[in-house]
């Protein structure tokens, strides 16, 4: 049935995208919180935070984009949970449908929905004063990092979507992901953090990813930091994909 994978995935992707278009509030919801954080930190706390940057919104935006994605992938887990509860997997098993296409349709739907959310957040940031002289290739590099990050978190979301006992449990996994940027270089410099907090902030995935995107926007040399960011994204992606597929095989065995 692998030869039908692309066709099956396309059909199921269309099904998932139709669900999104009928529930636009999900995209609105995933953009409201990061935009709210951006407004709060720029206009309330920004004047008291010294980042060495002339524009705090420019400093802040990379972390806000990661929060946007972390917020958005929770709906992947939620939609998977609803499909599982409805018994649709059992119906698909009785049909000549490539099994993995069910998951890939949800993953690709997450990519599309998160792309829309990220574009909206960047547009708001531009209205708030975000500026970058980065060229097309640099923007593509930023987009590539965000795509890898989205894929990694989306496959991570598949796991609770397949195994959670309730809808609340399916989306709860995203809460630590949403707040992880707060203990990183996303909002403030790590230099003035207490020792243990600084050690955690500098050795968790968000900090190198945020720093790489920030340097690309500022057209600064990224050095080895971008390889650390890519290693985190790819490592999380491979691990999450393997665990998600193992969980799916158990569900459909």
pLDDT range class, residue 1, cuts 50, 70, 90:
very low
Rounded distance between C-alpha atoms, residue 225 and residue 247, angstroms = 33
Q: How many domains does the chain have?
A: 1
What is the extent of the structural domain holding 126?
Answer: 2-252
- The residue with tokens 């998160």 is 114
Position 253 pLDDT exceeds 80: no
List, for residues 93-137, the tens digit of each pLDDT value.
655 555 667 788 888 888 888 998 999 999 999 999 999 988 999
pLDDT at 46: 76
Position 237 pLDDT exceeds 60: yes
Strand intervals (E) in 166-229: none
Give percent of the chain with pLDDT exceeding 70.
83
Task: Find which of 76-85, 120-129, 155-164 is predicted with most confidence, using mean pLDDT.
Answer: 120-129
List, for residues 168-201, the tens digit of each pLDDT value.
888 888 888 888 999 999 998 988 899 899 999 9
pLDDT at 169: 83
Helix axes 56-86, 25-40, angle to 10 degrees: 150
pLDDT at 91: 61
Q: How buried is residue 191: exposed, middle or buried, by Cβ count under 10 Å (0-12/13-18/19+)?
A: exposed
Rounded distance between C-alpha atoms, residue 248 and residue 194, angstroms = 42
List, for residues 12-60, the tens digit of each pLDDT value.
667 776 767 666 666 677 788 899 999 999 998 877 777 776 689 999 9
CA-to-CA dists, residue 178 to 20, 50, 153, 159, angstroms: 22, 23, 11, 17
Alpha helices (H) in 87-166, listed in sequence order? 88-93, 99-127, 136-163
pLDDT at 136: 93
Position 208 pLDDT exceeds 90: yes
pTM of the model: 0.88
């Amino acid at each position: 049935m692998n030869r039908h994978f692309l066709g099956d995935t396309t059909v199921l992707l269309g099904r998932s995208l139709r669900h999104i278009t009928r529930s636009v509030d999900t995209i609105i919801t995933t953009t409201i919180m990061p935009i709210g954080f951006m407004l709060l930190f720029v206009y309330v706390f920004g004047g008291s935070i010294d980042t060495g940057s002339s524009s705090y919104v420019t400093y802040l935006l990379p972390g806000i984009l990661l929060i946007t994605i972390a917020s958005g992938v929770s709906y992947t887990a939620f939609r998977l949970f609803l499909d599982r509860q409805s018994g649709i997997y059992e119906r698909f098993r009785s049909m000549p449908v490539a099994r993995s296409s069910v998951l890939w349709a949800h993953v690709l739907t997450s990519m599309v929905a998160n792309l829309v959310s990220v574009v909206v957040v960047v547009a708001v940031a531009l209205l708030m004063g975000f500026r970058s002289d980065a060229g097309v290739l640099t923007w593509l590099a930023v987009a590539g990092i965000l795509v890898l990050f989205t894929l990694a978190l989306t496959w991570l979301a598949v796991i609770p979507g397949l195994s959670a006992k309730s809808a609340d449990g399916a989306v709860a996994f995203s809460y630590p992901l949403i707040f992880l940027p707060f203990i990183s270089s996303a909002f403030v410099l790590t230099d003035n953090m207490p020792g243990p907090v600084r050690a955690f902030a500098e050795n968790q995935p968000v900090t190198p990813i945020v720093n790489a995107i920030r340097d690309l926007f500022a057209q600064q040399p990224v050095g080895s930091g971008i390889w650390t960011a890519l290693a985190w994204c790819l490592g999380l992606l491979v691990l999450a994909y393997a665990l998600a597929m193992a969980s799916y095989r158990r569900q459909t065995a």
